[in-house]
Amino acid sequence: MAAQIGRESFLNELTRPDVISRLRVNPKSTLETAFANAHRAIESALRNYYESTGWIIMRHKDGYYLRSRGPFGPLACIHGGTTATILVLLDGRRLIVANVGDSTALICGLSPNHMRSIDTWTPLPQFVQSEVPYTPFVPPSSNVMNIPPTYDPLPTDIRNVYAEITTDHSPENLNEYFRIAQFRSHPMMPNVPELQFIYDSKSPSVDRIPIFHYSQDGTIHRTGKGEYYKNVRSEWATFVATPPHAPFQDALAFTRSLGDLHLQTYGITHVPSITWIDLTKPSDITSDARKVYKVQLPQHIQASLVSLCICNPPESKDIIHDIVHSPTCPVFFLNPIEPVASYPLAIMIGSDGIWDNWVYSEVSSFMLDPKRIKEAMQNNSISSIITAFIQNNLQRGNINFGPTADNMTAITLYLLPKLYP
């Protein structure tokens, strides 16, 4: 229920034209607002659901809900929530990823060096959003040559290049440990969160071992004493849990989520981690290319022009100077918008039922297999790729987890540079 409510909230909000415009200017606040609204929608839906089924709902002063059958009935805490990973490909050239929880996204073909903090976001100039790359306007009577970009075949070693573009929210993330400790610390230990960060155990009677431990000199380190791996990447099964003295017991396998109102009082948050990638090559579009030049044009064209945009300027500035000599209209010389890579890129977003069964390099090799890409381009379809992927995942899930295999959901994107041969 929480996932469905969250999906509807995101769809209703993020697809509005005014929200798309806000994403261009300030994606951080826009996405944080969308996540906050989805969180509130889930909160409201949980309350409405229980009220509609005859429960008496009480809101605790800390913000979570309790339910009871009557004024003297036992109180139970309302649980439930969802992960959320939202990917925005903005104006065909910028990729923004926001996530809470462990629904990971992977980009295959690009290294982590391309990832940027959302704090480095600068809006594109307005005129760029409507320009058309690779269809340059060449001024008449000029000798400016349009030089189309060239593309390389898929490099064989690129399949080993990938980047996790979502942020890790597992309980083993030290940054999250510190964040939650700052939000609500242990009453006796200010550097330790009241929420427990612990390794899971298959035996219910065994005491769980803490993930982090402070040495006597004050340094913190991972104990590394997990009992079993939760996935094929040898990551320990971990979770965060309410302290033993908490009036209601609760646990979660990650440190951020939508919903989970009770755990949010201990530091679980619905605020997403956001990163972005520029999918185009850096250009001087905001500096040198915005200089205003003058160009000689026939009178009948001059009369109808307010300004002129010339894409794909030649490499040699001498040629530009040859045509820039007459006071007519302002001209913007823009470098071509070129893809960040000259070969196909692939993006995989998946729920943990996918990532439990794959090492990241395996996914990258699978997605960037030249045979699969060639077949997809010939058929103008990637149906066969995602079908093969999910069938492979079903087999892996059956082998690794048997009847306890998790739900598996995948979204696959292929980004082929225009004019890719």
Partner 1 sequence: MLYNLPLLSFLDFSDFLSNPSALAQYTGRIHEGISSNVYKIYAAAITDPGVAGKQNQDDLFLWESPDKQTFIAGILDGHGRDLGQVRLILFPLLPCIMRFKYFSNTSVAYHETHFCSWLLRLDVNPF
- Taking CB under 8 A as the binding criterion, the range among 1-9, 168-176, 284-292, 312-320 that sits at the site for partner 1 is 1-9
Q: Give the whole-angstrom CA distance, residue 145 versus residue 136.
A: 10
Q: Which of 37, 83, 170, 242 binds partner 1 (CB under 8 A)?
A: 83
- Pick 144 or 311: Cβ nearer partner 1: 311
**Could you say whether residue 350 binds partner 1 (CB under 8 A)?**
yes
Residues 118-137 that bind partner 1 (CB under 8 A): 129, 131-134
Residues 38-77 that bind partner 1 (CB under 8 A): 49-50, 53-55, 69, 74, 76
- Pick 200 or 352: Cβ nearer partner 1: 352
Q: Which of 339, 343, 368, 372 binds partner 1 (CB under 8 A)?
A: 339
Q: How far is the CB of 214 from partner 1 (least distance, A)?
A: 30
With beta carbons less than 8 A apart as the criterion, state whether 408 and 354 touch.
yes
Give the list of residues 6+ apart from residue 134 with CB closer than 8 angstroms, or none: 148, 149, 311, 312, 336, 418, 419
Q: Which of 30, 37, 85, 364 binds partner 1 (CB under 8 A)?
A: 85
Side-chain half-sphere CA neighbours of 319 within 13 A: 14
- Pick 3 or 295: Cβ nearer partner 1: 3
Q: How many other C-beta atoms lie within 10 A of the C-beta of residue 280?
A: 20
Give the list of residues 6+ apart from residue 294 with CB closer than 8 angstroms, or none: 324, 325, 326, 327, 328, 329, 330, 331
- Taking CB under 8 A as the binding criterion, the range among 118-126, 169-177, 183-191, 256-264 that sits at the site for partner 1 is 256-264
- Pick 2 or 118: Cβ nearer partner 1: 2
- Taking CB under 8 A as the binding criterion, the range among 11-19, 221-229, 241-249, 286-294 that sits at the site for partner 1 is 11-19
Site string for partner 1, 184-223 (x = CB under 8 A): ----------------------------------------
CB burial readout 157-186, b (16+ within 10 A) else e: ebbebbbbbbbbbbbbbeebbebbbebebe
Measured between alpha carbons, how far is residue 288 from residues 4, 149, 363 in Å? 48, 21, 41
Type of residue found at 353: G
Q: How many other C-beta atoms lie within 10 A of the C-beta of residue 223?
A: 13
Q: Give the whole-angstrom CA distance, residue 8 versus residue 5.
A: 5
Q: How far is the CB of 371 from partner 1 (least distance, A)?
A: 16
Q: How far is the CB of 327 from partner 1 (least distance, A)?
A: 32
Residues 368-397 that bind partner 1 (CB under 8 A): 376, 380-383, 385-387, 390-391, 394, 397
